[in-house]
Copies of this chain bind each other. A is one copy, B any other.
Amino acid sequence: MKLLLVFLVVAIATAASHATNDYHVIRRVVPNSGLSHSGSAKTKCLSWRLAVETYNLRDWKLVPAECISYIGNYMMGKQHGQDCTAAADAAFAYAKTINLTGDGKDAWVLDIDQTALSLLDYYARPDVQFGGILYNDTRFEEWLAQGTAAATPAVLDLYNKLKSIGFKIVFISGTSETQRDIRIANLNKAGYYNWEKLLLKSESEHGTTAQVYKTNKRTKLVGEGYRIHGNMGDQWSDLIGPNNGDRTFKLPNPMFFIP
């Protein structure tokens, strides 16, 4: 069993180091790892993923052990990218129906982590296993501090298109204010420029849930005269609560849950 685990970790590490959206690599790992998908496991894990995405499941801590390889395949394969594209397409189709005023107050709220920026390079690591291993704050913060997160392609494309028709982009992130320079550098490196606001968590806001924190930020925005037409994030805590925007767009994320 221990040997199997070592093999699995090495195999996933090898896969992760080579793979960029190549689900064949992960697929190759799976049959050898003892975690192959029976039809029934695939059906169950797809149901689990749907329950997560529809907010039926809340406050979960770990991807179920039997779904780790399924989620790995999903994230590294075509489906996740296509799901993000479908969300971005729905968002832009809606955005185009809005008559913008031209007063600079037509806003679109975007989350950063696992929305504008992908955390997949981190989550594919053998010590993270797509959320199958318990979240480690220190390790994650260390990775984030490198500022190397790539863009989520569909979201970067949406960002540019929203700006091109006159929306003001407001990033709201739970990242600490002390990391502002790092986050800006990462966003720029990934291709994001010229946003309206980048709202981060001040010292006094630490300890509040993402949902409360983000609601407060949006409420302040509305108080400043902004109209939040759209709001996109990978967590329901980005999307629910007062002033959540005329339309919300949920990006898929079966790897972690933030309340």
Using a CB–CB cutoff of 8 Å, the interface residues on chain A facing chain B are 43-44, 46-48, 50-51, 53-58, 78-79, 82-83, 85-87, 90-91, 247-250, 252
Cross-chain contact of A50 among B51, B56, B78, B83 (Cβ < 8 A)? B83
Report if A87-B51 is in contact (Cβ < 8 Å); known contacts: A43-B79, A46-B79, A79-B46: yes
Nearest-CB residue, chain B, relative to A78: B43
Copies of this protein in the assembly total: 2
- C-alpha spacing A87/B52, complex, angstroms: 10
For residue A103, give the distance in angstroms from its CB to the closest CB of chain B.
Answer: 26
Inter-chain contact B56/A250, CB cutoff 8 Å: yes
Bound-state Cα–Cα, A48 to B82, Å: 9
Apart from A43-B78, A51-B90, 19 more pairs, CB < 8 Å? A43-B79, A43-B82, A44-B82, A46-B79, A47-B79, A48-B86, A50-B252, A51-B83, A51-B86, A51-B87, A53-B53, A54-B87, A54-B250, A55-B250, A56-B87, A56-B91, A56-B248, A56-B250, A57-B90
Contact between A50 and B47, CB atoms less than 8 A apart: no
Which residues from chain B contact A57 at a C-beta distance below 8 Å?
90
Contacts of A87 in B (CB 8 A): 51, 54, 56
Contact A82/B250 with A53-B53, A56-B91, A91-B56 known, Cβ cut-off 8 Å: no
Q: Could you show 24 A-B contacts with beta carbons less than 8 Å apart?
A: A44-B82, A44-B86, A47-B79, A47-B82, A47-B85, A47-B86, A48-B86, A50-B50, A50-B53, A50-B83, A51-B83, A51-B86, A51-B90, A53-B53, A54-B54, A54-B87, A54-B250, A55-B250, A56-B86, A56-B91, A56-B248, A56-B249, A56-B250, A58-B247
Given the complex, which residues of B lie within 8 Å of A250, measured CB to CB? 54-56
Q: Is A83 touching B47 in the complex (CB atoms < 8 A)?
A: yes
A150 CB to nearest chain B CB (Å): 21
For the complex of A and B, 7 pairs with smallest distance between CB atoms: A47-B86, A54-B250, A56-B90, A47-B82, A51-B86, A47-B83, A56-B249
